[in-house]
């Protein structure tokens, strides 16, 4: 079984600013393998990852098996681990007289994003409350924590639907860590849970700090083929027409939705250009700012892969978006078509 020192070495490498996130595939997978062994959470590779998932009134809760596989989305794991660690250390400097309280929602079977905190800090610096809707996940986390002797970091564990979870006044979180989303904020309850928890702890820092979904028209021939590289800035050249941001999820937007009681949240309207280049496709693009400079851009993660917008529109139309809450949360669009009215020829 891997020991605490081995895990600390892996964590130190992952958190090191000397390594680019895209270079840490080996280390993240080694860490995930170690936690699988410690948590004794083993599934056959051919198992259906949907087995054990839970459909809540606010969206889909991935199965423990699927949540475990998310750890291997390695750039995502690196950026979230770095962002969470940096946020707690920053908060700790402000509140040095007491531990930083971290509420970790949807911790999965590894509580992976909290592991650097428990290996590098002390219980006097951080206390963590772990919530997951699946008992198998919490059981696995408790085995990991117990084996590594990290029990003093854990203020609470709860098997609960986070939408129904109520924060106790005596333990108000300084940071709410919530990563229950998919690309373009479909299917999972990131927005619903953020609203519920931020209402109870309005002063808490929310991680990720911001999730942005935008719309663009892109040229698949340039987007998905071997890319040209600009010799000046070494950035991949892609042929895109940006149409604008559709929705942002951050503390400010969540506050702006406080008085909305219905199932639809407002998003933006964008206009399609009068001329659409042949072959261009409308795509939803997701960007995630975990904390400060720790960002997931397009293609960094499964969370930020473009998704095609399925809508019947023409050049010049206006697309008005809203976000639908409930069991199947997602962005929806109302297409407002341009109507050409021919002039009437009247007799002179």
Question: In this predicted model, which residue has the larger pLDDT, 129 or 240?
Answer: 129
Q: What is the pLDDT of residue 234?
A: 38
pLDDT tens digits, 223-251: 866 444 444 443 456 788 999 999 999 99
Q: How confident is the model at residue 50 (pLDDT cuts 50, 70, 90)?
A: confident
**pTM as predicted:** 0.91
- 4-336: which CATH architecture? 3-Layer(aba) Sandwich (3.40)
Average the pLDDT over 148-165 and give the result.
96
User: What percent of the chain has a predicted confidence (pLDDT) above 70?
Assistant: 91
The torsion angles phi and psi of 334, rounded to 5 degrees, stand at -110, 120
pLDDT tens digits, 184-209: 999 999 999 999 999 999 999 999 99
Q: What is the pLDDT of residue 75?
A: 98
Q: What is the pLDDT of residue 233?
A: 44
- For the chain, which residues make up each domain, given as ranges? 4-336
Q: What is the pLDDT of residue 225?
A: 66
pLDDT tens digits, 283-335: 999 999 999 999 999 999 999 999 999 999 999 999 999 999 999 999 999 99
Q: How confident is the model at residue 173 (pLDDT cuts 50, 70, 90)?
A: very high
Average pLDDT, the chain: 90
Q: What is the pLDDT of residue 76?
A: 98
User: What percent of the chain has a predicted confidence (pLDDT) above 90?
Assistant: 79
């Amino acid at each position: 079984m891997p020991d605490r020192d081995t895990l600390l070495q892996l964590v130190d490498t992952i958190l090191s600013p000397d390594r680019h996130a895209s270079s840490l595939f080996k280390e993240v997978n080694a860490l995930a393998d170690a936690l699988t062994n410690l948590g004794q959470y083993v599934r056959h590779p051919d198992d259906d990852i949907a087995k054990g998932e839970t459909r809540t009134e606010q969206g889909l809760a991935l199965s423990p098996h699927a949540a475990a596989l998310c750890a291997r989305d390695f750039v995502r794991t690196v950026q979230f681990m770095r962002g969470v660690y940096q946020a707690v250390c920053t908060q700790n400097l402000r509140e040095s007289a007491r531990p930083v309280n971290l509420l970790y929602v949807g911790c999965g079977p590894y509580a992976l994003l909290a592991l650097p905190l428990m290996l590098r800090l002390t219980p006097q610096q951080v206390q963590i409350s772990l919530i997951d809707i699946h008992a198998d996940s919490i059981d696995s986390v408790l085995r990991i924590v117990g084996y590594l002797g990290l029990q003093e970091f854990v203020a609470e564990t709860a098997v609960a639907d986070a939408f129904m979870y109520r924060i106790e006044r005596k333990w108000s979180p300084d940071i709410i860590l919530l990563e229950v989303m998919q690309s373009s904020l479909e299917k999972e309850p990131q927005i619903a849970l953020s609203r519920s928890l931020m209402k109870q702890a309005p002063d808490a820092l929310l991680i990720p700090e911001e999730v942005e979904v935008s719309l663009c028209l892109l040229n698949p021939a340039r987007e998905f083929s071997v890319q040209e590289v600009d010799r000046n800035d070494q950035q991949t050249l892609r042929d895109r027409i940006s149409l604008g941001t559709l929705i942002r999820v951050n503390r400010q937007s969540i506050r702006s939705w406080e008085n909305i009681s219905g199932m639809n949240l407002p998003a933006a309207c964008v206009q399609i250009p009068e001329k659409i280049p042949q072959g261009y496709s409308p795509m939803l693009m997701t960007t995630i700012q975990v904390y400060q400079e720790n960002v997931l851009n397009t293609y960094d993660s499964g969370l930020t892969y473009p998704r095609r917008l399925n809508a019947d529109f023409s050049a010049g139309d206006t697309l008005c978006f809203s976000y639908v809450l409930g069991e199947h949360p997602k962005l929806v669009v109302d297409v407002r078509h341009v109507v050409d009215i021919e002039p009437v020829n009247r007799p002179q």
